[in-house]
Structures are given as structure tokens and as C-alpha cells.
Amino acid sequence: MFRAYVSLLAERVAVVTGASGALGAAAAMRLAAMGAAVVVNYHHQTEGALACVEMIAANGGTAEAVQGDVSTADGVEAVLRKATDTWGRLDILVNNAGITRDGLALRMSEADWDAVLDTNLKGAFLCCKAALRPMLRQRWGRIINISSVAGLAGNAGQANYSAAKAGLIGLTRALAREVAARGITVNAVAPGYIPSALWDSVPDAAKEAVLQQIPLGRPGTPMEVAAAIGFFASPEAAYVTGQVLAVDGGLV
């Protein structure tokens, strides 16, 4: 899947939340390809997480699948403890876990609002808070929050999702200022339209309408988003913090 293993992240340990889906799995595989040991977190999709771990192992990498609901403090603690208990450190956190509960704001239930904010925003906050403890001791860390073009421009029918993803950008910029002096960088990636099971179910006419909005004329791929994540995690991005990189084909 990736051309070759390199040593940019040798002896580093990464946690990728929500890594059972296409984008999270691509991020986990990218970091493993760069030499990191990876905790592949999942909530419900056991099969996807195990497939990701198997793919990493087949290509010479190191990974462990860990179940945990990152919208709760107990779930976060269990996931991050796997990294420190197994490898004795935690260097990289990718906050990718996310859900959708779409609907027009006038018809959106409070439960749907809370569910999306709890997982997509509160979950990232809880993960950052827990990950910072070992990172501050090490005086080195990389936090990459997965936002969205919906957080940059809004998306009709996704008031909850757009608010959570915009909140992630605010969290990224505030946290970057708080921890920079300790050698920790905090950045965000904002993907555009990326192929997924949901994308496959969209009617062709609707797909065409979406593609017409993208200057590059096509959706992105999980590996293209993972490349941006890999950059932010690498030593090459040591002087980059508080930034948001849109991987969207020019959409926003």
C-alpha cells in the first residue's frame, strides 16, 4: 500500500482513534510505514480494526487493535493506556473518531446534537488531555486532529457535525499555544469528499453535482489524507503548529 518503510518515526508510538474505517486505517498504516508502533482504536467495527492490524503486520509494521469509546473518559484511558503499558510511551495522537447524525437544524434532536459533539469534539478533548501527560514528560509530541471542510465552510443538514469540526479547529489552535514550549505540536487536517461506504451509496447524479464543486474534479483518497497526517507527525513538521491543512481538491 505504501512504497517503502522509512525510519522517520522509528521508536515512536502512535494512537489513531476511529481507525477501523477507511480514513483512520489509512492514517494508521501511514504512521506504521514511517516506523511507528500504532494503537488501532475502534468502537464497534472489530473486523475493520483487525484487518488494519493485519495489513500493517503483513508489511512489517507493529500495531495492536484496542476497543474503546473515546467519548468517555474511561474509554479514552483504556485506549491510551495500551500505548504506555505496551511500549512505555505515547508520541503521536490522531483524533479521527467521528460519527454523523444528519438532519436539518429545525428537526435535529438534542440527542443527535449531543451524540455528535460528544464523540467528535469532546472525545478529541479527552484524548488530548490524557495524551498530554506522557507527552509533557517526554517534552515531545504530535497531536493531529481530523476536522473537515464542513468545519471550515459549514454543510447544510450537518449543523452538529459542522459545529464539532469547527470546534476542533479552535481546540487545535488554542492547544497549540498552550503546549508549544514543551516541544509538542498540534495541527489539524480538514478532508474534503473522500470515498467511503456512504459515498458508494450516493446516486450518480448527486455524485456528479459534488464533483462539479471540486476544482480538481474528483474526490480525494484516504491515502492522500494520510499523507498530510504523516507530514504533521514527522520531524519535518517540527516548526509547524496551530495550522489547518485542507485536503479537499481546492473545494474550500
Known catalytic residues are 161
Long-range contacts of 66-70 (CB under 8 A, 24+ apart): 66/39, 66/40, 66/41, 66/42, 67/41, 67/42, 67/43, 68/41, 68/42, 68/43, 69/43, 70/17, 70/18, 70/41, 70/43, 70/97, 70/119, 70/123, 70/124, 70/126, 70/127
Q: Give dist(CA 241, CA 211) in Å, integer.
A: 31
Q: Which neighbouring-strand residues pair with 38?
A: 14, 63
